[in-house]
Chains A and B, each alone.
Chain A
Amino acid sequence: MTGKVRDIMSAAPVCMAATESVSAAAKAMKERGVGTVLVVSGGRLEGMVTERDITIRVLAENRDPATTRLGDIYTSELAVLRPEDDVQHAARLVRDRAVRRLPVIADGVPVGVVSIGDLALDRDERSALSEIPATAPDR
């Protein structure tokens, strides 16, 4: 597992304000084909909301996605990566922090997301797994 985070990350992350609704984030996840929304304020990363967060913090809690704001459910105090970090470092963070997705920050600004799928695909680029499109439905 060699290479840099910039080589495997999904660039151009979806960024939204903490005041946006969960419904708006779900629509963005659908339209952009992603499972993560980065929550930003003045261009700086404040937190992250994933599909999983919406399942367990909104649907399972009977909260209304139209009135629940990202600021109510986001995960803050995130472990973050830099584009120049080694992929091996990313894999270690994913394992040690038991997270599936990590934001990538350059000069304080979010520039990408690395997911456990990106790492699996990178593990052996000649393996069959690498032929599963990174954008394939999560099922």
Chain B
Amino acid sequence: MDAKVRDVMTPGPIGVDYHQSIGTAARTMRDWGVGAGLVVSDQALYGLVTDRDLVVSDQALYGLVTDRDLVVRAVAESKGPDEPVGPLSSRDLVGVRADDDAAVAVALMREHAVRRLPVIEDGQVAGIVSLGDLAPPDES
């Protein structure tokens, strides 16, 4: 596995705002054809972000929300589509650098038992790499 994370990631992070509704987030994920969206907050605009925080388009990265989060944390809990999507997020994300070997992403997923990692380049989130990107089924 010689590829770099940059080569296999889904580029151009799909971001949804913390305060956006669950329905809006679902439409964003539908329209972009992605199973996970990065949740951003406007803390950056108020100077609350430290240089350790990750940034997406000048907004601070709050967490990640997936199809599964929408189903088990909203629909299964009878939350309506107008409620904010932010609280459904998974936080404490583990990032990987775009110029890391893909094997590094595999090791991080194993270590932290997660299937998706935000990809970092120049202090910004450049994309997401998922388990499926790293091990696509083939006939080998």
Contact = CB atoms under 8 A, between A and B. Distances in A.
A136 B7 CA distance: 25
Contact of B137 (A26, A54, A94, A138): A94
Given A22-B75, A95-B137, A139-B69, A133 B113 contact: yes
Nearest to A22: B75
6 contacts: A1-B139, A26-B71, A26-B75, A35-B67, A58-B75, A139-B69
Interface of A: 1, 22-23, 26-27, 29-30, 35, 50-52, 54-56, 58-60, 62, 65-66, 88, 90-92, 94-95, 100, 116-117, 119-120, 123, 127-129, 131-133, 136-139
B3 interface: no
Interface residues of B, number: 40
B140 interface: yes
Nearest to A66: B78
Contacts of B139: 1, 88, 91-92
Find the residue from A29, A55, A90 having the highest chain B CB count within 10 A: A55
B23 A60 contact: yes
A interface SS class: helix
Nearest to B36: A139
Interface in B80-116: 81, 90, 103, 106-107, 109-110, 113-116
A50 to B, nearest CB: 8
B132 A59 contact: no
B1 to A, nearest CB: 9
A55 B26 contact: yes
B35 interface: yes
Contact of B76 (A27, A58, A123): A27
A139 B115 contact: yes
